[in-house]
Amino acid sequence: MKVTEGRRFSKGTAAMSALLLIAALLVVPVADSSAAGEYIVRETPGAGDGPETLVEQLGGEVLEQIGIIGGFAAELPQDAASALEADPLVVAVTPNAGLQLSSNGWDDASMLTGYDVDTYAGSMFDVTQVSGARHFWGAGYTGEGVDIALIDSGVAPVDGLTKPGKVINGPDLSFESQIDELRYMDTFGHGTHLAGIMAGAEDAVGDIDQRTGSQYFVGVAPDARIVSIKVAGATGATDVSQVLAAIDWVVQHRNDDGLNIRVLNLAFGTNGAQDYVLDPLAFAVEQAWNAGIVVVVSAGNDGNSYPLRNPAYDPFVIAVGSAEGRTHASSRTDYVSDFSNCGTSDRSVDIVARGRSLVSHRVPGSAIDVKNPQARVNGNLFLGSGTSQAAAVVSGAAALMIDRRPSLTPDQVKDLLIRFGSNVKRASGYCDDARSLELATLAEEGSSNAVQNHTPSVGTGSLEAARGDAHIELDGMPLVGEQDIFGNTWDGASWSTLSAAGASWSGGEWNGASWSGTSRSGASWSGASWSSNLWTGASWSGASWSSKSWSGASWSRASWSGASWSGASWSGNVWLGLSWQ
């Protein structure tokens, strides 16, 4: 982003990595000013070279300029940090400590106070820059004619996603589907953020030339269309059975009423570890893959030493990890994010894309927005990190590739992404096998005859095993066992037969139950209004389902306001603490 005060980004040493910048934004104030090591120094506006000169006088060394915060990185000897911080030209001195992906230290908004960060294009937060998408735009490919199915928490009609036909609502399979004013709406805030990364384009943005130099937000494939299938409400709660129903719906309706669903983004994953050959989730994503839909799945946010989440562990789909790179705008990545799952020797991540610190659309009043006000950017945008965001980048990239070559199969898309990707520096564990997204090369190349020959899933395994430790709860009672959210018995053999035949949905019924909100496949927003006060004081207590039961607990007309995760599964749970004044 353009910074009207302070210095420019330097393209020098690796010391100024994305990790260094994020650490500068997130760490708490100096606790031990006598400690030696690297520090982030933020200057007052118009400070000139005074602070840098003082660093040298104190026996330190200036390492790199950090223009976006109006400061620099420096190596300081013992006791120098406190002396430097006492200088009137210095706002703050913070240690370049290891980044902790938790809420601790997320509220250090003072790092950007007083700086006019008013231009988006060309910054390290610009998803089109860090993905290389503009190379496709220059050749005339913007994702037009390609639909991306987003199974998530819905999509809100915010600026960038409100043009007629931009977002098509599939069924609302969430626990909010029975509240008219909440149906299809993103009360959580996660789905809208991903939709923007994939295909957003603020209304003020015009043609390709204007997008390239725009100060407004633009996603990777701005002319692609989003087909939203909502499975999670304000708490983020959903069950594997809801996700299975959503995937089945996508496969069966991929070409209905002018739809052309060629990409499926799934930022959902459990730690269920049964063999993918048996697992229902793995079977479902393979059915989408076999139907010609590129399935992009987030790897998970547990850390580099962890296996891929289910269904990313299915070998057919594209498992996406998060990487980060230089602070200046660049599609090159330097290393895998420390929160990103890498996998195992049997199944490792396929590709990594920028997933640290990406700006996209904010949903005013959503759960994530309310809980993380420090992540708001210039009022209408939001800063987030996770393998969800990285998967959204790759989903947008797949839409660009298909726009350029509509005949590409999912196997060929995966092959091209991996084969023309670049090496990842400083990769950890099994991320050594991953490749980094390189759209600059793919905009010119693209020939593939690849066919994957893995053993296909049969889907007859356990629904409970697919959940792992992720269970929805009602009044403290988790949904467990071989039954869906309606309490219906799960028969994997019967379901998999119907799913493979494209007949699991019939007359609005799935697995023997009628689901509300399934008939709006052609609905789209056209100038829908949006109010930041829409959910203020709203009660979720009106949501209820039919008189079924699970585990002996009757829940006829039960409230789903308490539905929550007992094991986190959404892969976009890292919302960076940054407030731009």
Residues catalogued as catalytic:
152, 190, 388
Cα angle 120, 122, 127; round to 5: 75
Cα angle 203, 206, 207; round to 5: 145
Backbone torsions φ then ψ of 536, nearest 5 degrees: -60, 120
Q: Report the alpha-carbon distance of residue 309 to residue 318 in Å, rounded.
A: 12
Q: Report the alpha-carbon distance of residue 56 to residue 41 in Å, rounded.
A: 13
C-alpha to C-alpha distances, 157 to 161, 470, 486, 571, nearest whole angstrom: 6, 29, 30, 23
First to last CA, the chain: 13
Backbone torsions φ then ψ of 311, nearest 5 degrees: -105, 15
Cβ–Cβ < 8 Å for 431, 348: yes
Cβ–Cβ < 8 Å for 214, 129: no
Burial class (CB in 10 A: 0-12, 13-18, 19+), 451: exposed
What is the DSSP-derived secondary structure letter of residue 433? Answer: G
Backbone torsions φ then ψ of 266, nearest 5 degrees: -130, 100
Query: What DSSP assignment string belongs to 98-111?
Result: PP--SSTTTT-GGG
Q: Report the alpha-carbon distance of residue 251 to residue 148 in Å, rounded.
A: 12
Q: What sign has the CA pseudo-torsion 269, 271, 276, 280?
A: negative
Q: What sign has the CA pseudo-torsion 298, 300, 306, 307?
A: negative
CB atoms within 10 A of CB 4: 11
Tell the residue number behind the tokens 């590709």, with chain if given.
Answer: 351
Cβ–Cβ < 8 Å for 87, 7: no
Q: What sign has the CA pseudo-torsion 42, 46, 51, 52?
A: positive
Cβ–Cβ < 8 Å for 176, 234: yes
Burial class (CB in 10 A: 0-12, 13-18, 19+), 406: exposed
Q: Report the alpha-carbon distance of residue 467 to residue 478 in Å, rounded.
A: 11
Biggest distance spanned by C-alpha atoms of the chain: 77
Amino acid at 374: Q
Q: Report the alpha-carbon distance of residue 481 to residue 167 in Å, rounded.
A: 35
Q: Report the alpha-carbon distance of residue 255 to residue 227 in Å, rounded.
A: 12
